[in-house]
Amino acid sequence: MSALLEVENLTVALPTRAGYRNAVDDLSLTVGLGEVVGIAGESGSGKTMTALSLFGLLPNGARVTGSARLDGTDLLALRGRRLRDVRGRQVAMVSQDPSASLHPILTIGTQLTEHMRHHLGVSKSEAATRAAALLDTVRIPDPEQALGAYPGQFSGGMRQRIAIAVALAAEPRLLVADEPTTALDVTVQAGILRLLDRLCRERDLSVIVITHDLGVMSALARRVYVMYAGRLAEAGDTSRLLTRPRHPYTRGLLDALPHPEAGQAALVPIGGTPPSLGAVPGGCPFHPRCAYAEASCQETRPAAVQASGETGPHLLACPPDPLRELS
Amino acid sequence: MTASQENPVRSDPVLALSAAAVEYRRHGQRVRALDGVDLTLSRGEIIGLVGESGCGKSTLARAAVGLVPLAGGTVTFEGQPVAPLGLRRRPGRLRGLQMVFQDPYESLNPRRKVGDLIADGVVLGGGSRADGRARAAELLARVGLPATAADGYPHEYSGGQRQRIAIARTLAAGPSCLIADEPISALDASAQAQVANLLTVLVREEGIGLLLVSHDLSVVRQVADRVAVMYLGRIVEIGDTATVWSNPVHPYTEALVAAIPRADGAGVLPADLPGDVPDPASPPSGCRFHPRCPVARDDCAVTEQQLVTVSGRQVACHVRAPLPGGPAPAAHGGSAAPGAASLCGLSTRTSSTCCPARCCPPAPSRPPPTAPSPRSPPPRRPACPTSWSPTSRAAGCCPG
């Protein structure tokens, strides 16, 4: 599978009271054509900052280094008009909260056709036809009538479907979905997951799905990157990563989930809380919360390298590798 | 091992709802958000209340603590009626009935210190400020926070810590019943586990009754003794968690359980339940679930459903749990498994013709779960089969 997006050594530094701090630290990832890739981690792990950097939407004062090449074009270097040409056309985003991402007093039709006409140069009537077809694709009943309706007239699940339709209107090649189903019911979530999966297969759409829900990850993503405190902790094939996690943090995330098989045993939370941006510990950022931490973990900051004993590509940033024997 | 055996204090009711109904007014129209709900919560018991948004879970929780007036029925706390909250001071006898709200960012006053927030509960109960401060330190320790947290403001703490502060605040009132409306939904995965464990420990050790409202079935499954499934203002299935979970009878419960994505790396898409919860202002006739129901019969649109006891739980579905003396039940389970196929919109097709493994995850809970092997490497999901094409989609395959 050829790579559509190649992010290399991405570092995003945000201004804090104590100076610049890295919200994303030396992250590299690739997304293949038509591939669904997941980014997992607790809040504050740099998932959303990674996504925003691809759109030039970082907060004021943020410093970005590294590169993010989409078919050879470095998204991080684009400015002004060239950035606008890519944004929406090549890369599009679906955010967590559809009531915040849709404009409340513009009709669905306006929001669906505006950038479609700008990017694709189609006529007004052609755009309306395409918009109705899109709404049909995302299973909005009576699409013609929905074009004239306002976001407030739809339920949360339907609004998220509409937000996905808006993101897809200019036929982007990469969709970044930031917690696309976190605010929704499980039944609606199931519908959205099936929709995203279908779009990938039908349109060769590449998707980066950002979520802390490993169940969603398991259903959708082929490969998963697990981030902690802005750094890559572990990356690999979803089935491998979820059945045989090598990083203690991935293991902890899995143990914190309720398992249908586990009966009524107490949940196993990860002790402590994720570090705030200004207070990332030295050495391995996870060592204060890690049950397997050794003295060396406090000193050297581990880089993600190919894990020993894995047949496929599997990156691991944990030199002691305490879970190797278990896997 | 059933939950009831673990929980010996089940017979000591602390909160009882009887035919409770709540109506809102919207555009001059009466909307019945809660329609005749019976529920009894005992000390030391956790009842999980689940359902999609708009089904009346939160209304039930608010009615249980008296935040909304009842349009019918009764709510009693320790045998006394729960009066709706008005302008007057809440009667002291209701102080043991406390609520934990969803969003700890909004439920804590940002301008008051954590210790003062907690001490209020003690002061309202007749204690002095000094008592309150001493108790606040104890309670912070109880919820796993350092006593020094009393001198901080809520914004200094993470979501999970704030929710623990909110729980400590309710404990200051010495509650015998807690109503928690989505107490962990706004939290991170690991903080969710911490708060869920804390609530469980408090309930067991202090003998508090807990009504846990959540749209996250997997958490409810883990902590609740009994689970009540709501749809459009009514309870459609209620019973011991293990029983309901492992063998749901109501098609709606079945759909909810099947919709949970499992973090097993198998790459199976969860089953979809098409459609939305109807507008409670104009609920469907007969069984309120019938327009979305995969096993609906013609008479479902006519007959009101009643809760019937069947295989260890109460179910309101006359197709799967007929009234005594009624017609024979439709095939439930076995090879027919009508619900399993039609859950993904394939009511007229057999699952083998459509997207093997992708569209049709294992039929929900049927056959009953066998010994799972969560850590064995499952086969990666196959690529979309060659038989799939836009025409098959038009024919109703792969509904998405």
Q: pLDDT per residue over A143-188, tens digit each?
A: 888 999 999 888 777 888 899 999 988 889 999 999 888 777 888 8
Hey, which bits of A49-127 come out as E strands?
Answer: 63-70, 73-74, 91-94
| Minimal C-alpha gap between A213 and chain B (Å) | 8
How do residues A89-117 score in pLDDT, each as one tens digit?
899 999 888 878 899 999 999 999 988 88
pLDDT score of A327: 53
Check B262 against A189: CB less than 8 A apart: no
In what order do the strands lie in the sheet containing B13-26? Answer: B29-42, B13-26, B72-77, B80-81
pLDDT score of A260: 60
Q: Write down the pTM of the prediction.
A: 0.78
Q: Alpha-carbon Rg of chain B, whole angstroms?
A: 23
Kindly state the average pLDDT of the residues B259-275: 84
3-state secondary structure B201-224: HHHHHHCCEEEEECCCHHHHHHHC
pLDDT score of A85: 87
Which of A300, A292, A299 lies closest to A245, judged by CA?
A292
A72, two tokens: 């050879």
Backbone φ and ψ of B245, nearest 5°: -70, -45
Q: Are A314 and A307 in contact (CB under 8 A)?
A: yes
pLDDT score of B10: 54
Name the pLDDT band for B346 (thresholds 50, 70, 90): very low
Q: Are A119 and A88 in contact (CB under 8 A)?
A: yes
With beta carbons under 8 A apart, name residues in chain A contacting B268: 218-219
Which of B123, B104, B121, B286 lies closest to B182, judged by CA?
B104
- The reply to whether A268 touches chain B by the CB within 8 Å rule is yes
pLDDT score of B100: 92
Q: Which residue from B minimizes the CA distance to A217?
A: B263
User: Helices H, strands E: what count in chain B?
Assistant: 11, 12
pLDDT score of A1: 56
Hey, which bits of B43-199 come out as E strands?
Answer: 46-50, 72-77, 80-81, 97-100, 177-181
How do residues B329-344 score in pLDDT, each as one tens digit?
554 443 333 333 333 3
| Minimal C-alpha gap between A136 and chain B (Å) | 12
User: In this predicted complex, what is the ipTM?
Assistant: 0.79
With beta carbons under 8 A apart, name residues in chain A contacting B242: 263-264
pLDDT score of B76: 93
Residue tagged 């006519």 (tokens): B302
Share of chain B above pLDDT 70, in %: 78
Q: Are B214 and B185 in contact (CB under 8 A)?
A: yes
Apex B233 CA angle, B228 and B235, nearest 5: 25
Which residue from A43, A158, A218 is facing B267, i.e. has the nearest CB? A218
Share of chain B above pLDDT 90, in %: 34
Is residue B399 scored above 60 in pLDDT? no
Backbone φ and ψ of B58, nearest 5°: -70, -35
- The reply to whether A207 touches chain B by the CB within 8 Å rule is no
Q: Are A53 and A5 in contact (CB under 8 A)?
A: no
Kindly state the average pLDDT of the residues A204-219: 91
pLDDT score of B344: 38
Cis status, amide bond into A98, omega within 30 of 0: no
Is residue A235 scored above 50 in pLDDT? yes
pLDDT score of B372: 38
Which residue from A239, A267, A270 is facing B266, i.e. has the nearest CB? A239
pLDDT-wise least confident of A136-150, B109-123, B244-258: A136-150
Interface of A with B in 90-149 (CB under 8 A): 139
DSSP A87: B
Q: Are B37 and B19 in contact (CB under 8 A)?
A: yes
Average pLDDT, chain B: 78
How do residues B145-191 score in pLDDT, each as one tens digit?
888 889 999 988 888 888 989 999 999 998 999 999 988 887 777 78
Check B263 against A187: CB less than 8 A apart: no
CB atoms within 10 A of CB B8: 9
Is residue B348 scored above 50 in pLDDT? no
Check A264 against B223: CB less than 8 A apart: yes
pLDDT score of B343: 39
Check A193 against B270: CB less than 8 A apart: yes
Apex A63 CA angle, A58 and A66, nearest 5: 100
Residue tagged 């980014």 (tokens): A39
Kindly state the average pLDDT of the residues B183-203: 84
Q: Are B303 and B286 in contact (CB under 8 A)?
A: yes
Name the pLDDT band for A139 (thresholds 50, 70, 90): confident
pLDDT score of B11: 66
Which of B319, B329, B248, B316 lies closest to B288, judged by CA?
B316
